[in-house]
Amino acid sequence: MSGLASPDSTMTAEEQVAALREELETVRRKLAETYKMASVGKLLAGVVHEINTPIGSVRSNNEVLARSLEKIAGILECCPGAGEAALAKARSLLDSCRNLTSVDRIACDRISSVIRNLKTFARADRSELRKVRLAELIENALKLTQCEFRRRITVESDFGEMPEIECNPDSLSQVFLNLLINAGQAIEGEGKITIRTRVEDGEAVISISDTGSGIAPEHLPEIFRSGFTTKPAGVGTGLGLAITRQIVVEDHHGSIDVQSELGAGTTFHLRLPLRQPDEPR
Amino acid sequence: MQTDTVPRVVVVDDEEMVITSVKAYLQLETEYDVVGFSDPEEAVRFFPENAVDVVVSDYLMPKLNGLQVLMEAKRFQPEAARVLLTGHADKQSAIQAINDVGLFQYLEKPWDNPQLLLIINSAIERTNLLRTLRDKISQLDMAHSHLKEVQARLLRAFL
């Protein structure tokens, strides 16, 4: 990286300071961007592994499906009399196709999820700041999790009085979705998720609690690190909380902390400023 | 041993979807007996008691990695061909595998089905050849012992 340019000698002292400050800010932005890209690069090896496996499966299944369908067509053409044995074979092949289709669907969902997370992580989007109602973002995230939670998990919301807050609504929605999905996955069988929002010391405070299995104390310092997961293969990528932290702390100048008790549940506390500072950190 | 029955292919991958896909493809194209394990430790427990012709294993798995699985396969089923099927694009692990466990083939995910089938077919052929060779060597050993016995008897008769 090149050093700062010498200020023009015809400028006043104030102008020189302002020019240097502006240049420093540009360098700081570049550094932040380089740091972000380096983090993304570190994630890539793991992400490629995550993507290649489901893609391999999808490709293989598609091939098997195509061949099976050909065979079904052949059997049906060769046996217009529909012999019982031929029909049984056709039914068995059709069952196989159905099973593989369902595996393909799961694999595709995972690819989309990894790509989506990576895109969010790499995005530099201060220009997308808007004033929104936090409750609305949380309610939208809840709608997306409804299918998974229905009949198993009850959700209790307590949205306190709060002005609209300045934020990037897309990335904050991702934060709430990540935390709600984690909460749902922590609950085995039936349980409850509680969401509370309030204003405290001029900041928006959001608490999301679950009655799930809790996080082991030795795992607590690790949970925001990218690549860390205790979920079985195929469920967790270890990116969710790393991205959540990035969005809350780095992009929104907020904070996130967690309280957890094994067997009792976990609460995430988020604090976000109501207005984003004019100068980025 | 497995020579008189259908060849047995063991697939080890912590991702169930890979086992489902490889199994479905091999069942469509072949008559092989395909056994899948998503827990590498279970696969390792399978080797001492069951004849195996080919082992196809993932590399990055919890508890045991692919090299450890293939090492155990080599210990209990020395003639079975060992194939590494990995999404971890790490050439170092491939080289290590070739040197340490006598790898038959290294395949990267996403894999190509016809290529996988070709590898498995060649692997089975190789395993059968090794077994035939072992049988022939043992027949030669027996014939040699028999000849030595005859020679000893002849010497006893004439001396």
Q: What CATH number does the domain containing B41 carry?
A: 3.40.50.2300
- HSE, CB side, 13 Å, CA atoms: give it for residue A102: 7
Residues A234-258 have a mean pLDDT of: 80
Statement: residue A271 has pLDDT above 90: yes
Statement: residue B144 has pLDDT above 50: yes
Q: Which residues of B touch A233 (CB under 8 A)?
A: 14-15, 62
Q: Which residues of A touch B22 (CB under 8 A)?
A: 60
Look up residue A271 and give its two tokens: 């604090």
Q: Is residue B151 part of a domain?
A: no
Most confident of A33-47, A132-146, B4-18: B4-18
Q: Which residues of B touch A100 (CB under 8 A)?
A: 20-21, 24
CB contact under 8 A, B17 and A55: no
Task: Provide the pLDDT for residue A24.
Answer: 84
- In sign, the C-alpha dihedral spanning B3, B8, B12, B18 is positive
Residues 6+ apart with CB under 8 A from A269: A205, A206, A207, A256, A257, A258, A259
Chain B residues with CB under 8 Å of a chain A CB are 14-18, 20-22, 24-25, 28, 60, 62, 87-89, 108-111, 113
Q: Is residue B20 part of a domain?
A: yes
Mean pLDDT of chain A: 78
Q: Is residue B159 part of a domain?
A: no
CA A54 to chain centre: 18
Reduce the secondary structure of chain A to three states and give it as a string. CCCCCCCCCCCCHHHHHHHHHHHHHHHHHHHHHHHHHHHHHHHHHHHHHHHHHHHHHHHHHHHHHHHHHHHHHHHHHHCCCCCHHHHHHHHHHHHHHHHHHHHHHHHHHHHHHHHHHHHHHHCCCHHHCEEECHHHHHHHHHHHHHHHHCCCEEEEEEECCCCCEEECHHHHHHHHHHHHHHHHHHCCCCEEEEEEEEEECCEEEEEEEECCCCCCCCCHHHCCCCCCCCCCCCCCCCCHHHHHHHHHHHHCCCEEEEEEECCCEEEEEEEEECCCCCCCC
Q: Is residue B13 part of a domain?
A: yes
Residues B50-55 have a mean pLDDT of: 96
Q: Is residue B48 part of a domain?
A: yes
Task: Provide the pLDDT for residue A60.
Answer: 87
Task: Provide the pLDDT for residue A147.
Answer: 61
Of B18, B20, B25, the CB nearest to A53: B18
- Helix B66-76 / helix B91-101 crossing angle, nearest 10 deg: 10
Task: Provide the pLDDT for residue A96.
Answer: 80
Taking CA–CA distances from A234, the nearest residue in chain B reads B15
Say which range, A50-59, A226-235, B3-12, B102-111, has the weakest mean pLDDT. A226-235
Say which range, A42-46, A237-241, B9-13, has the weakest mean pLDDT. A42-46
Q: Which residues of A touch B15 (CB under 8 A)?
A: 53, 57, 233-234
Q: Is residue B150 part of a domain?
A: no
Q: Is residue B119 part of a domain?
A: yes
pLDDT digits (tens, 9 = 90+) for A45-93: 566 667 778 878 888 888 888 788 778 777 777 766 667 777 777 777 7
Task: Provide the pLDDT for residue A160.
Answer: 86
Q: Which residues of B touch A50 (CB under 8 A)?
A: 87
Q: Does A111 touch chain B (CB under 8 A)?
A: no
Statement: residue A40 has pLDDT above 70: no
Residues A110-127 have a mean pLDDT of: 55
Q: Is residue B80 part of a domain?
A: yes
Q: Any idea which residue has 């992400």 for tokens?
A: A47
Which amino acid, A66? A
Q: Which residue has the higher pLDDT, A179 or A78?
A: A179
Residue from A51, A57, A75 whose CB has the most chain B CBs within 10 Å, to mutate: A57
Q: Which residue has the higher pLDDT, A147 or A176?
A: A176
Q: Which domain holds residue B23?
A: 8-134
CB contact under 8 A, B111 and A233: no
Comparing CA positions, the residue from A41, A46, A51, A36 lying closest to residue A247 is A36
- Domain total in chain B: 1
CA distances from B154 to A23, A83, B143, B146 (A): 104, 70, 16, 12
Q: What is the ipTM of this complex?
A: 0.73
Comparing CA positions, the residue from A181, A240, A226 lying closest to residue A208 is A181
CA–CA gap between residue A55 and residue A16 (Å, rounded): 56
CB contact under 8 A, B25 and A63: yes
